[in-house]
Structures are given as C-alpha cells and as structure tokens.
C-alpha cells in the first residue's frame, strides 16, 4: 500500500518484504517509479 509520498504498509504471503528498506528505495527514486518499474518488474505482486 502506498500514497503519493511513501509506502504505507504491506501484506505478503509466501515472501518476505523489508518495508523499511523498500521505503528508502521508493524515497530515492520516487514512489510512482518504484511501483511502476521496480516493484512490477521484480516482484510478483500487486499494489493498491
């Protein structure tokens, strides 16, 4: 889950997810870019 500024939380089944680490990546590249490029290409999940 995310808003315009940051990742706000997550639910994961069958994978681990480093929320603090991923928040830092999203902060560096921007949340929209993180969701579109990094998360969509590297994880088999969805965001809302």
pTM for the whole structure: 0.71
State the pLDDT at residue 41: 73
State the pLDDT at residue 12: 78
23-to-11, 37, 40 alpha-carbon distances in Å: 15, 15, 15
State the pLDDT at residue 47: 60
1 neighbors 7 (Cβ within 8 angstroms): yes
Q: Each residue of 2-31: pLDDT tens digit?
A: 898 899 988 878 878 899 998 999 999 999
State the pLDDT at residue 44: 66
State the pLDDT at residue 15: 77
């Amino acid at each position: 889950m995310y808003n315009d500024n940051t990742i706000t939380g997550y639910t994961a089944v069958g994978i681990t997810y480093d929320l603090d680490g991923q928040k830092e990546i999203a902060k560096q590249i921007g949340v929209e870019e993180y969701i579109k490029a990094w998360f969509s290409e590297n994880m088999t999940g969805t965001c809302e």
